Amino acid sequence: MKKTLIALALASLSTASMADVILYGQIKGGVETTFGNKLGQDKNKGTTTQIVDYGSRIGFKGHEHLTDNLDAIWQVESKVDIGGGSGRTFGTRDSFIGLKGGFGTVKVGYQQTPIKELNGKLDQWEYDSSVAGLGTFTRGTDANRRATAVSYETPDLSGFTAKAYYSPSEQENGESTNALGAHKNKAKGIYGLSASYKNSGFFADVAGVYARGTTAAVAAGKKGGYQALVQAGYESDKWLAGLAYQRSQRVERANSTLNADADKVNELALSGAYTLNDALTLKGTFAYGFGIKDINGDKIAGNGKYYQGLVGADYALSKRTIVNGQYGYLQSGKGDDKLKANVVSIGMKHKF
């Protein structure tokens, strides 16, 4: 009897202490088949099929009510990988501590830049291969990433919000110091701003990020690179329609999904979706890259362009479990540098 009472007491204490802690996440994955790939005159006649993770994650978040108009907030979010990959680490997604009140929200920790927070809004697909979603448009760059930073977001002002973001150079890899800890040179500070408006289903966003000391900037003898985004659209329970334009310069990485030699890049993305009933949603996306040039001003892959098309559907088994299927096609370059790729992806997502 005493053991039972002790167990009940411990359980109630644990429940009370965890009252403001929320466990959440997504487990999602599927099967992707790549076929009909062609580079120049060389065609791959075979197919490649893989079981993949779509970007599963798990997180804990909570808050403490400090005063009538002030809360302490925190979050720890991590990647998980049901495909058995190397993405199973802790705190690899947005993880921070901060304050929220009538003045707005201040966060300190590992956070998305304003570009990363917004340029995936029209990416309505679940995928691993970049061809099966807007993976080229949303690819990681030195401006489209997460970094240890401080951010400030205004309160909602009749649908309008704005954000400022700063990651000190001291937080970026590659900073060298002397024996006293003083910095010998300036490294990779990141500065970002964004503004958003949302009203009656209509939305509009603009964002810009400047990154110092990027690899591409150093190669060009410049101080840094930038990425800017503007987008607008409409979203409701039945409809999604949106158009985005982004431009970047000197922010591509060595493992760029686009091309590591790309210096200037212009891109458009157009997405639409219609929900026929409570379960079935039809979706489509088109992306276009143009004016893609290297450091010398020459067009990448002959024409400095790429085209991408996606069609597919989601079927909701419940409010939290959705089955997806889509076909993606990507074409870039011309002549011997002309690339064609096809991917079919079928999978499932469960939110908790």
For residue 212, list its beta bridge partners: 224
Class of domain 23-38+56-174+185-351: mainly beta
Q: What CA–CA distance (Å, rounded) separates 177 from 83? A: 40
Residue environment code for 41-75, b if the CB has 16+ CB neighbours within 10 A, otherwise e = eeeeeeeeeeebbbbbbbbbbbbeeeeeeebebbb
Backbone Cα Rg of the chain: 23
Backbone φ, ψ for residue 34 (5° rounding): -105, 135
Domain ranges within the chain, ordered by starting residue:
23-38+56-174+185-351
- Predicted confidence at residue 4, as pLDDT, reads 47
Q: What is the pLDDT of residues 278-337, one digit of tens each?
A: 899 999 999 999 999 999 999 999 999 999 999 999 999 999 999 999 999 999 999 999
H-helix or E-strand spanning residue 221: none
Backbone φ, ψ for residue 11 (5° rounding): -65, -40
Nearest to 96 by CA among 136, 52, 48, 63: 63
Amino acid present at 265:
V
DSSP state of 143: S
- Predicted confidence at residue 185, as pLDDT, reads 45
- Predicted confidence at residue 15, as pLDDT, reads 44
Q: What is the pLDDT of residues 53-106, one digit of tens each?
A: 999 999 999 999 999 999 999 999 999 998 876 655 688 999 999 999 999 999
Q: What is the pLDDT of residues 138-184, one digit of tens each?
A: 999 999 999 999 999 999 999 999 999 999 976 665 444 444 444 44
Can you give the pTM of this predicted structure? 0.88
Residue 33, burial from CB neighbour count under 10 angstroms (0-12, 13-18, 19+): middle
Q: What is the pLDDT of residues 180-232, one digit of tens each?
A: 444 444 567 999 999 999 999 999 999 999 999 999 999 899 999 999 999 99
Q: What is the pLDDT of residues 233-252, one digit of tens each?
A: 999 999 999 999 999 999 99
pLDDT grade for 1, boundaries at 50, 70 and 90 = very low
For residue 152, list its beta bridge partners: 106, 164
Nearest to 164 by CA among 209, 216, 202, 228: 209
